Each structure stands twice: as structure tokens, then as C-alpha cells.
């Protein structure tokens, strides 16, 4: 087992043991924090597929996070308010079932990522960064101005949505569910990385002319990666909304996009568990520093500057001392 | 005369006032090595780029296996059977040698959109990759990270990737560069046999290799083909001696 | 809807666009010369506004406030360039994005720590308040008209600076060929600091000028920054002319879209629904414009490189 493998295993063990301890100790708040870690990690795993494998510096992933959130919010709101979402061609009252919500969130995010990707991937470099950021802002302002679903105030969903066979109102059960989703997605991401597609996408990041010369279109590879990436982040958004039982335009904000990216970088770009480590560190900092000072973002900013300027390969890189490899 | 596998007809390309290709017509027949030589700045690189699709000619046509490919993209030409090697290695430097070669197999198979099965556990892919690496003499370096390879080994990997494509035509941009005397000899011997799998359009500075390998030679000077013929004809051509070979002595 | 109202909205759009130009010009210069994508440009806008509000509040002089905005933002820009930014030129865009994102966090929280979370107010001076009657009977605030004039003067100054002066020659050389300016014996480090400080001063000026019509608060810079990005994408990176045209297009689209789209919707639906749908569409209008430009010209209207 490589050192990175050991670190990864330790991370997973932590994510089982800490909430397990919190459950027996009755520390509900710690369980909620752990749930936040797992969901943010999932969002960042999504971004890491575009950013780490594809080299696509998207500063607009809050679009998908927010879409996932609003998918949950809108579907559940209609049930809560007894107003059918639509009556034609058939009566649809919305849903409070997580699997249905997740499916809708993934499909909607993927479709949106396809359209945005189609436009943004015509460009590269700094243009790509600015355009993804701009599209994020478009969704943010749209959500503010769309008064039917709360506008600036957002939407509250009073009762958490259900999952067959589970009591999702119990924090530890909801945590377990989110953790399982993360593990499944991590497994999928590791398979993706080693698949034919992963190989080609990795190569397209490093040498697009080579990829063309073997008969593949870098554009198609990148667009596919962007769609998968957006779908995963959208799923995380639906879970995040369910954790808070609240969605608001803040999920679409550029700060959100920036935070998701920070999670990836803190842990290490292109490393399978980088986003997970990043999320643990981020939530821990938010919690610890947030208690110490109202201005904890200053310290976060200084830490981030240090990592960018001095630590190659993020925290996992600093611990394992090895560059990211995908085997 | 058998039909040409690859052919350009009256290619013209200019960058501003500079004409880099002037009515360039060359052809490549089955089983032959056709070398394009010329001094630096003669327009060899731009010619290769037009043939491979990275630059669009202003005028003229390009045929691959009798089909007009003038307006096809780089990747479409690759799928149609054209394999190129790059003058400055274009490889995925963070990946292993094996992975780089596997990319060729994945591209050639047309099945890049498979998201689940690990590509390096696919025995069919592996056997083709290993065969190609073996043929260019890189089998021992398969597990190495590409950035650790020597300049010459990168050349060999370029050729190995081209082999994995099982192409109809090879277009090779200075495959001997940086190989050293011994490596050059090995590569020359290898290309000599390769011509029977698919003909090779060879751009090369190493004159020993060119005279040893080429069935035909075209001499490109300031964007124009000033002479075209067998090795003997080119050696004897006074215009070539003046414009180009004279430089060497 | 009267012609007067339309003319007024066009002027508002111009005023908004010209302020965007001040932001975007600095960004595009910094990108063109140093190849740096700077998210912290919005922070410099905020720094300018806070300097102006603090100094104008203390001295009672709006003009001194403007001077403070220019000097404060330029100083902050130069300082940031020397301490952090110059370490980023050789790094990739991802590192630049993250480091400048970190700077936003530091600037925003630092400002909140110094000034608190409540907005400050910067008052329009007596001699610039009130309306003026323009030809055609259009009543328009003097202050907003002044903004348009100041913006146009700065734009002209910028064109002259880049077109006619020694430093302009160096900037243009830097955009085309970084090695060449080193070969010419120009001190690149100093040139970069000057360009960055110049961009910062323009952003700070915009922040102070706009701060007098809106409130001065933490986080005021980033929405403007993102609009400035839209401007650059439309105009083309590195082109001052493209930036000016892009800025005016965005300013006019944003302002006129907000007025006309709800009116337009009233043709199709009930007034209350039309207002809401129109507002939603208006919020998207500039991004649709950006998407349209991208489809036609991926490198922007006047952009050369990808």
C-alpha cells in the first residue's frame, strides 16, 4: 500500500469513528459537522473530476451545487404547500423522496453542465475561468429575482425528505446515508480515473495535440468530464439543502464556487481523497477559528496563500511527499 | 503507377507576406519512404501541419487513400488512418510510458468513452501496447514516468504510439533527432522494415538516414519543391547541390 | 414610456458602463502585460471607496476623498504586488485564482475588522448635487453626468498613456513579448508594479465615485469584478478599445434590460407576472449577451489571442 493509500484509508476510518463516537457520546452537533464535511467533500469530488483530471479551472461550480439545492427545495416545497408542481400532462405534486430528488438533481445539473460546457469550452485559460464565474453569477441573480421560490430569502423545507428504510430525521442515519453516497462516488471516481476515458482525459490536459493525433477530440472529452463533474456537485447540492432544510441564492454565489475550489486545493488537486481531506480541514477551521474570532476568513486566506505559494500538491502532497499519480 | 496513399496537390499557405508553401505537390505510394528535406525555414513543419490538419492551406487539396481530406480536422484524419510523430515530443509527461502508448490503442479503437473498466487491466489493450513498445525497444521502460525518459527515448515512444494506431500512413517529423549514432542506426533499421506495413512520409535532417532509407526524396526550399526524385537523381541534381547540399559541405 | 425616460435610462447605462470600464481597464492591462488573472481587483475597488468615505468624512472634502481613494488603492495595489502578486506571474491560472481569492478574504475581513459591518456613506458634494436640464428637457443628476465625463476623460488619458508615452511603449512591448522588454533593458519588476498600481488606482477611483451613489460596504467590489470579467470576455482580453466598447454594451444592456424587458413582457402576460418574469430575464440579459459573443467570437470582439 502506498503512503497515499494509507492516508486515504485513515481518512475513511476517521469518517467512521468520529461520528460513531459522537453518536455514543450524544454529541449531535459533531454529527452535523461530520455530515457537512461529507457533503462538501462530495461537491469537491465533483469539481475535482473537471479540475484535477480535466484541468478545467471552473469557478462556477456553485451553479450545480445551487441547482441541486433548488431541485430539492422546489420539489419538496410543492408537497409542503399542497400546490402541484404541474397538472399537465399529468398531475405532479412534487416529491419528498430523496432518491427521486437526487435523480432530478443529477439530471438537471448534467443538462445545465452540458449547455454551459458547450459555451465555455470554446475558450480556455483565463477566459474559461471568467466565463464560468460569470455564468455562476447569472444563476445567482436569477435565483434572487425569481420570487416564486422565495427570491432573496430562499426556501425553507420544514421536514427533511425521506429515504426508504431510513429515518432521515435521526442525525446519525442521515450521516450514514451521506457517507455511503460519498464512498460510492469516490469508488466511481477512482474507476473513472483508471478507465479508458480517464486515461484520455488526463492526456488531454497534458497534451491536447497528442490526443487529437490519436483520433480523439479533446473538446468531447472535456465536455463529458464537465457534465459528470456538474452532476456530482449537483447531487451534493441536493444533500446540502436537505442537511440545512433550507435553500437560498447563497448556494449559487461566487463565494460558494470559491469554497468548493478551496476544498480541492487544500487537499491536493487531482488526488482522489484530496477533496475529502480539504473538506475536513475546512470545516474544522471554520469551527475552531470561527469560535476564536469573528474574522476567521483572514486566517483562512493566509492559510490558502501559504498552501498556494509554498506547498506543492496540497496537504496530501505535503504528507506523502509524492506527486499525484493516477495509478 | 499505383495510386498514391497520401497526396498533396498545389498546396499554398502564406503567413502575411511570407509564402511558406508554394504549389507543393507530393505523393506517397504504397510501400515507400518518401523523404522531404530542406534547410531550416524551408516550410517543412508547416507542410506537415497542413497534411495532418493542424493548419488549413490557403489553396490546394490533400488526399488520403483517394479521399479529399482537405477540410477534415486533425482527429478525423487520424481516424482515417494517418499517424504522425511530433518534432517536439507531445506526450503526457506525468503519465507512464505504458499509459501514453495505451492512449494510442484507445484512440484507434474509437472506444474512449468507457468509464468503468480499468484500461490497464484490459488484456487486449495491454498486448497491443506491449508489442508496440517491444518493437521500438522501450519494453523495459514501460513503467517509467514519461518525464524521466531521455530525449531519444521520447522519440521512440512517439513512434510506438504511432504503431499502436495501426495506421495506413506514417508522417514522421524528425524521428532521428536526439537519438545519437547508435540509436539512429537502430531506428533506421526499424523504419526500413516498417515501410511494408504502411508508407512513411519522412521529414529528417539526418542525411545518412535519408539516403539510406528513402525511395524518393523531395527538396523543399523557401516553400517550393525544387526537385523530386530517387536518391541518385537528387544527389546529381545541380539545383539541389547549389541550394541545399552545398550548405552541408 | 416617454422619450425623456428612455434618454435618461440610456444616460444611466452609459454612466454604469463607464464605471465598469474603469474596473475592467485595469484588469485587462494586468492580464495583458503580466498574464495574471486578478480576482482581488474588486477588493481594490472597495479599498478606494473606504478611503474616500473615511477621508471625506473626516475632512468634509469630497475632492480630498477622491485623492485618498486614488492614492490608497494605488498604494494597496503596489504593496500587494510586491508582497504576493509577483510570486504568481510564473504560476498557472489556478494558483493565481486561489491566491487572489485568498487576498479577497483577507481584504474583506480586514476591512470588516477596521470599519465594522455597517455600510459607510459618502455624500455627493453640494456643488454636484441636484439635477441639470439637458437639451430636450431631460432632467438628469449633475453627479451622474460628472461620472460620465470623468470616465471619458480617464479613458482618453489611458489611450494617450498607452499610445503616446514611454511607459505606454513598454506596456505594449510587455503585451507582445515579455523577453523583449527584458532585452531592452527595462526593469520589468518596476514596470509590473507600476501597471498593477495603475490598475488599482483606476479601480479605487471607480469605487469612490460609485460609492457616493450606493453605500460603501464590504463585498461591494466582487459583483462589479464579475461584471468587469463579462466586459473583458465580450471585448477581448488585453484590448483597451474592446474593453471600452464591452463596458458600454454591458452597462446599456443591464440598465435598459431592467426597464424594457418587464414592459415587453406585459405584451404577453398579466402586469404582475410580467414584472416578475421581466426582472428575472433582465438579470440574465448581459450573460445572454456574453454567450452570444462567445458563440460568434470565442476570443471576444477585439481579442487576438485565445
| CATH number of the domain enclosing B198 | 3.40.50.300
Residues 6+ apart with CB under 8 A from B16: none
Q: Which has more pLDDT, C3 or C175?
A: C3
Q: What end-to-end distance do the CA atoms of chain A give, in Å?
A: 12
- Under an 8 A CB cutoff, do A305 and C84 touch? yes
How many contacts, defined by CB atoms under 8 Å, are there between A and C?
127
In the prediction, which pLDDT does A1 show? 67
> pLDDT tens digit string along C48-78?
999 999 999 999 999 999 999 999 999 999 9
Indicate if B75 and B109 belong to the same structural domain. Answer: no
pLDDT band at B181 (very low <50, low <70, confident <90, very high): confident
Asked whether residue C241 is assigned to any structural domain, the reply reads: no
Indicate if B226 and B187 belong to the same structural domain. Answer: yes
How many contacts, defined by CB atoms under 8 Å, are there between A and B?
118
Give the mean pLDDT of C196-223.
95
pTM: 0.93
- Under an 8 A CB cutoff, do C294 and A305 touch? no
On the 0-12 / 13-18 / 19+ scale of CB atoms within 10 A, B88 is exposed
The total domain count for chain C is: 1
Report yes or no: B106 at the A interface, CB cutoff 8 Å.
Answer: yes
> pLDDT tens digit string along C87-103?
999 899 999 999 999 99
Indicate if B103 and B68 belong to the same structural domain. Answer: no
Report yes or no: C297 at the A interface, CB cutoff 8 Å.
Answer: no
> pLDDT tens digit string along B17-73?
888 999 999 999 999 999 999 888 888 999 999 999 999 999 999 999 999 999 999
Give the whole-angstrom CA distance, residue C182 versus residue A268: 35
Indicate if B156 and B175 belong to the same structural domain. Answer: no
Optimal mutation site among B77, B82, B107, interface A, most CBs of chain A within 10 A = B107
Indicate if B177 and B74 belong to the same structural domain. Answer: yes
Secondary-structure breakdown of chain B: helix, strand, coil percentages, each rounded to the nearest 5: 40, 25, 35
Q: Is residue C297 pLDDT above 70, yes or no?
A: yes
Nearest to C233 among A130, A137, A295 (CB): A130
Asked whether residue C282 is assigned to any structural domain, the reply reads: no
Q: How do strand B224-229 and strand C131-134 relate by DSSP bridges?
A: unpaired
The total domain count for chain B is: 2
Q: Which helix (H) or strand (E) holds B243?
A: none
Indicate if B152 and B179 belong to the same structural domain. Answer: no
Chain C residues with CB-CB distance to A124 below 8 A = 306
Q: Which has more pLDDT, C11 or A270?
A: C11
> pLDDT tens digit string along C127-140?
998 888 888 888 89
- Under an 8 A CB cutoff, do A196 and B96 touch? no
Residues 222-261 of C with CB under 8 A from A: 222-223, 226-227, 229-230, 232-233, 237
Nearest to C287 among A135, A147, A307 (CB): A135
Indicate if B220 and B109 belong to the same structural domain. Answer: no
In the prediction, which pLDDT does C178 show? 67
Nearest to B114 among A197, A217, A325 (CB): A197
- Is-contact B54 B222, C-beta < 8 A? no
Alpha helices in B26-150 (DSSP H): 44-52, 74-79, 97-109, 123-136
In the prediction, which pLDDT does C199 show? 96
Q: Is residue C306 pLDDT above 60, yes or no?
A: no
- Under an 8 A CB cutoff, do C283 and A142 touch? yes
pLDDT band at C188 (very low <50, low <70, confident <90, very high): confident
Asked whether residue C185 is assigned to any structural domain, the reply reads: yes
> pLDDT tens digit string along B89-114?
899 999 999 999 999 999 998 899 99
Report yes or no: A289 at the C interface, CB cutoff 8 Å.
Answer: no
pLDDT band at C287 (very low <50, low <70, confident <90, very high): very high
Percent of chain B with pLDDT over 90: 71
Low-confidence ranges of chain A (pLDDT < 70): 1, 321-327
Name all contacts of C62-70 with Cβ < 8 Å and 24+ positions apart. Answer: C62/C122, C62/C123, C62/C124, C62/C125, C62/C128, C62/C212, C63/C125, C65/C122, C65/C208, C66/C205, C66/C208, C66/C209, C69/C204, C69/C205, C69/C207, C69/C208, C70/C201, C70/C204, C70/C205, C70/C208
- Under an 8 A CB cutoff, do A127 and C222 touch? no
Indicate if B63 and B180 belong to the same structural domain. Answer: yes
Give the whole-angstrom CA distance, residue C16 versus residue C272: 27
**CA distances for C7 relative to A2, B233, C151, angstroms:** 69, 79, 19
Q: With H, G, I as helix, E, B as strand and everything else as coil, classify residue B206.
A: coil
Asked whether residue C85 is assigned to any structural domain, the reply reads: yes
Indicate if B209 and B93 belong to the same structural domain. Answer: no
In the prediction, which pLDDT does B245 show? 58
Neighbours of B47 (CB within 10 A): 29
- Under an 8 A CB cutoff, do B91 and A210 touch? yes
- Under an 8 A CB cutoff, do A195 and B114 touch? yes
> pLDDT tens digit string along B204-238?
888 888 999 999 999 998 899 999 999 999 988 88
Indicate if B3 and B24 belong to the same structural domain. Answer: yes
Q: Give phi and psi for A251, each to the nearest 5.
A: -65, -20
Q: Is residue B247 pLDDT above 70, yes or no?
A: no
Give the mean pLDDT of C112-121.
91
In the prediction, which pLDDT does A312 show? 73
Q: Give the gap in angstroms from C-alpha C250 to the nearest C-alpha of chain A.
A: 13
| DSSP line for C155-217 | HHHHHHHHHHSHHHHHHHHHHH-HHHHHHTT--HHHHHHHHHHHHHHHHHHHHHHHHTTS-B-
Could you tell me the residue range of the domain that residue B207 belongs to? 1-81+167-249
Indicate if B97 and B51 belong to the same structural domain. Answer: no
Chains in contact with C, where contact means 3 or more Cβ–Cβ distances below 8 Å, are A
Give the whole-angstrom CA distance, residue C291 versus residue C297: 10
Optimal mutation site among A196, A202, A220, interface B, most CBs of chain B within 10 A = A196
Q: Single out the residue in B150, B165, B180 at which a domain terminates.
A: B165
Asked whether residue C106 is assigned to any structural domain, the reply reads: yes
C-alpha grid cell, residue C178: 515579455
Q: With H, G, I as helix, E, B as strand and everything else as coil, classify residue B228.
A: strand
Nearest to C95 among A148, A297, A308 (CB): A308
Nearest to A206 among B92, B107, B117 (CB): B92
In the prediction, which pLDDT does A325 show? 44
- Under an 8 A CB cutoff, do C110 and A124 touch? no
- Under an 8 A CB cutoff, do B110 and A215 touch? yes
* C-B interface (Cβ pairs under 8 Å ≥ 3): no
Could you tell me the residue range of the domain that residue C151 belongs to? 8-124+133-219
Q: Which residues pair with B225 in a beta bridge?
A: B220
Q: Which has more pLDDT, C260 or A173?
A: A173
pLDDT band at C269 (very low <50, low <70, confident <90, very high): confident
In the prediction, which pLDDT does B249 show? 43
Neighbours of B196 (CB within 10 A): 10
Amino acid at each position: 500500500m502506498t503512503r497515499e493509500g494509507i492516508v486515504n484509508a485513515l481518512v475513511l476510518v476517521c469518517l467512521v469513528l468520529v461520528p460513531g463516537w459522537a453518536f455514543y457520546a450524544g454529541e449531535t452537533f459533531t454529527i452535523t459537522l461530520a455530515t457537512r464535511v461529507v457533503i462538501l467533500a462530495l461537491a469537491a469530488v465533483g469539481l475535482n473530476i473537471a479540475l484535477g483530471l480535466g484541468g478545467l479551472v471552473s469557478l462556477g461550480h456553485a451553479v450545480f451545487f445551487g441547482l441541486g439545492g433548488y431541485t430539492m427545495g422546489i420539489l419538496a416545497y410543492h408537497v409542503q404547500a399542497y400546490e402541484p408542481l404541474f397538472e399537465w400532462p399529468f398531475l405532479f405534486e412534487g416529491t419528498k423522496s430523496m432518491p427521486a430528488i437526487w435523480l432530478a438533481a443529477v439530471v438537471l445539473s448534467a443538462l445545465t453542465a452540458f449547455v454551459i460546457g458547450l459555451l465555455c469550452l470554446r475558450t480556455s485559460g483565463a477566459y474559461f475561468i471568467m466565463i464560468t464565474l460569470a455564468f455562476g453569477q447569472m444563476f445567482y441573480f436569477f435565483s434572487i429575482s425569481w420570487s416564486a421560490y422565495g427570491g432573496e430569502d430562499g426556501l425553507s423545507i420544514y421536514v427533511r425528505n425521506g429515504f426508504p428504510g431510513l429515518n432521515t430525521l435521526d442525525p446519525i442515519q442521515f450521516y450514514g446515508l451521506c457517507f455511503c453516497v460519498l464512498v460510492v462516488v469516490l469508488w466511481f471516481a477512482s474507476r473513472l480515473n483508471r478507465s479508458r476515458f480517464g486515461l484520455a482525459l488526463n492526456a488531454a490536459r497534458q497534451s491536447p495535440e497528442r490526443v487529437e493525433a490519436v483520433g480523439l477530440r479533446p473538446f468531447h472529452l472535456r465536455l463529458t468530464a464537465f457534465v459528470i463533474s456538474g452532476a456530482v456537485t449537483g447531487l451534493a447540492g441536493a444533500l446540502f439543502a436537505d442537511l440545512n432544510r433550507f435553500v437560498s441564492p447563497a448556494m449559487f454565489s461566487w463565494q460558494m464556487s470559491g469554497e468548493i475550489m478551496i476544498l480541492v486545493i487544500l487537499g491536493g488537486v487531482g488526488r482522489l481523497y484530496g477533496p475529502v481531506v480539504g473538506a475536513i480541514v475546512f470545516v474544522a477551521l471554520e469551527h475552531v477559528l470561527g469560535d476564536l474570532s469573528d474574522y476567521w476568513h483572514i486566517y483562512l486566506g493566509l492559510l490558502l496563500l501559504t498552501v498556494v505559494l509554498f506547498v506543492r500538491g496540497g496537504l496530501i502532497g505535503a504528507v506523502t511527499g509524492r506527486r499525484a499519480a493516477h495509478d | 503507377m499505383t495510386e498514391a496513399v497520401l497526396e498533396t496537390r498545389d498546396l499554398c499557405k502564406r503567413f502575411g507576406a511570407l509564402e511558406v508553401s508554394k504549389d507543393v505537390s507530393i505523393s506517397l505510394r504504397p510501400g515507400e519512404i518518401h523523404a522531404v528535406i530542406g534547410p531550416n525555414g524551408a516550410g517543412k513543419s508547416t507542410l506537415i501541419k497542413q497534411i495532418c490538419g493542424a493548419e488549413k492551406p490557403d489553396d490546394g487539396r490533400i488526399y488520403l487513400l483517394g479521399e479529399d481530406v482537405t477540410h477534415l480536422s486533425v482527429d478525423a484524419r487520424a481516424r482515417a488512418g494517418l499517424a504522425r510523430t511530433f518534432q517536439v515530443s507531445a506526450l503526457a509527461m506525468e503519465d507512464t510510458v505504458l499509459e501514453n502508448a495505451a492512449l494510442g490503442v484507445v484512440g484507434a479503437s474509437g472506444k474512449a468513452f468507457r468509464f468503468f473498466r480499468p484500461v490497464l487491466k484490459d488484456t487486449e489493450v495491454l498486448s497491443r501496447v506491449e508489442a508496440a513498445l517491444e518493437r521500438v525497444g522501450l519494453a523495459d521502460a514501460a513503467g517509467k514516468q514519461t518525464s524521466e525518459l531521455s530525449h531519444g527515448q521520447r522519440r521512440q515512444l512517439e513512434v510506438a504510439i504511432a504503431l499502436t494506431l495501426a495506421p495506413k500512413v506514417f508522417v514522421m517529423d524528425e524521428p532521428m533527432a536526439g537519438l545519437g549514432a547508435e540509436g539512429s542506426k537502430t531506428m533506421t533499421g526499424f523504419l526500413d522494415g516498417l515501410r511494408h506495413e504502411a508508407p512513411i512520409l519522412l521529414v529528417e535532417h539526418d542525411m545518412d538516414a535519408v539516403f539510406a532509407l528513402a525511395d524518393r526524396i523531395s527538396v523543399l526550399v523557401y516553400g517550393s519543391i525544387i526537385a523530386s526524385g530517387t536518391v541518385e537523381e537528387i544527389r546529381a541534381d545541380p539545383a539541389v547541390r547549389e541550394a541545399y547540399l552545398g550548405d552541408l559541405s | 414610456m416617454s422619450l425623456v425616460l428612455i434618454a435618461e435610462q440610456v444616460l444611466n447605462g452609459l454612466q454604469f458602463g463607464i464605471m465598469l470600464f474603469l474596473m475592467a481597464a485595469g484588469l485587462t492591462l494586468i492580464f495583458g502585460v503580466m498574464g495574471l488573472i486578478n480576482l482581488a481587483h474588486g477588493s481594490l475597488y472597495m479599498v478606494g471607496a473606504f478611503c474616500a468615505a473615511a477621508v471625506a468624512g473626516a475632512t468634509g472634502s469630497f475632492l480630498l476623498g477622491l485623492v485618498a481613494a486614488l492614492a490608497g488603492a494605488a498604494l494597496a495595489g503596489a504593496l500587494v504586488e510586491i508582497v504576493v502578486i509577483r510570486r504568481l506571474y510564473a504560476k498557472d491560472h489556478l494558483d493565481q485564482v486561489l491566491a487572489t481569492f485568498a487576498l479577497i478574504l483577507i481584504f474583506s475581513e480586514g476591512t470588516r475588522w477596521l470599519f465594522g459591518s455597517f455600510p459607510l456613506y459618502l455624500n455627493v458634494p453640494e456643488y454636484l448635487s441636484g439635477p441639470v436640464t439637458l437639451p430636450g428637457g431631460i432632467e438628469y443628476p449633475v453627479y451622474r453626468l460628472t461620472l460620465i465625463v470623468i470616465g471619458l476623460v480617464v479613458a482618453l488619458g489611458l489611450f494617450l498613456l498607452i499610445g503616446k508615452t514611454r511607459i505606454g511603449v513598454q506596456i505594449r512591448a510587455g503585451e507582445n513579448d515579455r523577453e523583449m522588454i527584458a532585452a531592452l533593458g527595462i526593469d520589468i519588476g518596476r514596470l509590473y508594479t507600476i501597471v498593477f498600481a495603475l490598475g488599482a488606482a483606476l479601480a479605487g477611483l471607480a469605487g469612490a465615485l460609485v460609492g457616493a451613489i450606493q453605500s460603501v460596504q464590504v463585498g461591494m467590489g466582487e459583483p462589479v469584478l464579475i461584471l468587469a470579467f463579462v466586459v473583458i470576455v465580450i471585448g477581448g482580453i488585453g484590448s483597451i478599445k474592446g474593453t471600452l466598447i464591452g463596458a458600454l454594451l454591458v452597462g446599456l444592456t443591464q440598465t435598459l434590460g431592467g426597464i424594457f424587458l418587464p414592459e415587453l413582457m406585459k405584451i404577453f402576460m398579466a402586469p404582475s407576472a410580467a414584472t416578475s418574469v421581466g426582472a428575472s430575464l433582465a438579470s440574465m440579459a448581459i450573460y445572454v449577451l456574453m454567450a452570444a459573443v462567445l458563440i460568434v467570437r470565442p476570443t471576444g470582439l477585439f481579442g487576438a489571442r485565445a
